[in-house]
């Protein structure tokens, strides 16, 4: 796995796995692009937000993280594709993507708040 400026995550996630990817909040804004490069990846992706101190990559309790209400179209084992996530008014301190796979899923997640290298 190699990382470039702006990469939040790149890799293959096994079937029936849940991972958490931290997402930066800058001046109340969140921006990211999620890409999948095959037609077999399948996952549910949720943007979670919160302000209680906790690990961004651990499951956490229901009182630490809440669904942001932002709809994310993730890979559905149908085609190559991508989805962008843009939030203009986030008043929390922490954000992360909760990714729950249904099949082996390969994703690249890019931070929209940084310049490409």
| Domain assignment present for 117 | no
- Other Cβ atoms less than 10 A from the Cβ of 110: the count is 21
Provide the residue-wise pLDDT of the chain in tens; the chain has 117 residues: 344 569 999 999 999 999 999 999 999 999 999 999 999 999 999 999 999 888 888 898 888 999 999 999 999 999 999 999 999 999 999 999 999 999 999 999 999 976 655
Q: What is the pTM of this model?
A: 0.90
Q: Which CATH number goes with the domain that contains 40? A: 2.60.120
- Does residue 1 belong to any structural domain of this protein? no
Q: How many helices (H) and strands (E) does the chain have?
A: 0, 8
Give the residue numbers spanning the domain of 89: 7-111
Overall number of domains in the chain: 1
79 within some domain: yes
Nearest CA-CA partner of 112 in 67, 92, 91, 82: 82
In a domain, 2, yes or no: no
Is the separation of the CB atoms in 41 and 107 below 8 Å? yes
């Amino acid at each position: 796995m190699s990382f470039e400026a702006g990469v939040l995550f790149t890799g293959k996630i096994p079937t029936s796995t849940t991972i958490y990817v931290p997402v930066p909040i800058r001046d109340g804004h969140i921006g990211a692009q999620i890409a999948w490069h095959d037609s077999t990846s399948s996952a549910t992706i949720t943007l979670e937000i919160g302000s209680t101190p906790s690990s961004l990559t651990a499951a956490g309790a229901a009182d630490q993280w809440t669904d942001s209400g932002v709809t994310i179209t993730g890979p559905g084992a149908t085609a190559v594709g991508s989805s962008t996530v843009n939030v203009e008014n986030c008043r929390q301190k922490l954000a992360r993507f909760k990714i729950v796979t249904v099949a082996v899923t390969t994703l690249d997640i890019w931070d929209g708040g940084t310049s490409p290298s």
